[in-house]
């Protein structure tokens, strides 16, 4: 299962997610792992010492298209399972 790490500064984002609201997140992933972030995939969402299972409900939107380090930044909508 793929992990999405939420920044410790994003308290409200994790609270909304944990209460069942769909949230938008950005993930920075190696290009070879991009397939793990497709719509319908189950993910583990981690915030500080808390974690919950969620599902990607949007098609990944690639934010950067000219990365030289091989990483891609995707914007995703995730909802709690």
pLDDT for residue 56 = 98
What are the structural domain ranges in the chain?
2-80
For the whole prediction, is pTM greater than 0.85?
yes
Please write the tens of the pLDDT for every residue from 16-61: 999 999 999 999 999 899 999 999 999 999 999 999 999 999 999 9
**pLDDT tier at 65, thresholds 50, 70, 90:** low
Q: Tell me which long-range contacts 58-64 makes (C-beta under 8 A, separation of at least 24).
A: 60/34, 63/26
Topology annotation, domain 2-80: 2.30.130
- The three-state secondary structure class of 24 is strand
**pLDDT tier at 69, thresholds 50, 70, 90:** confident
């Amino acid at each position: 299962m793929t992990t999405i790490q939420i920044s410790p500064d994003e308290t409200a984002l994790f609270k909304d997610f944990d209460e069942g609201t769909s949230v938008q997140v950005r993930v920075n992933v190696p290009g070879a792992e991009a397939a793990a972030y497709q719509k319908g995939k189950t993910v583990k969402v981690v915030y500080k010492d808390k974690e919950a299972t969620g599902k990607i409900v949007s098609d990944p939107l690639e934010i950067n298209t000219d990365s030289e380090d091989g990483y891609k930044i995707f914007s995703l909508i995730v909802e709690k399972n």
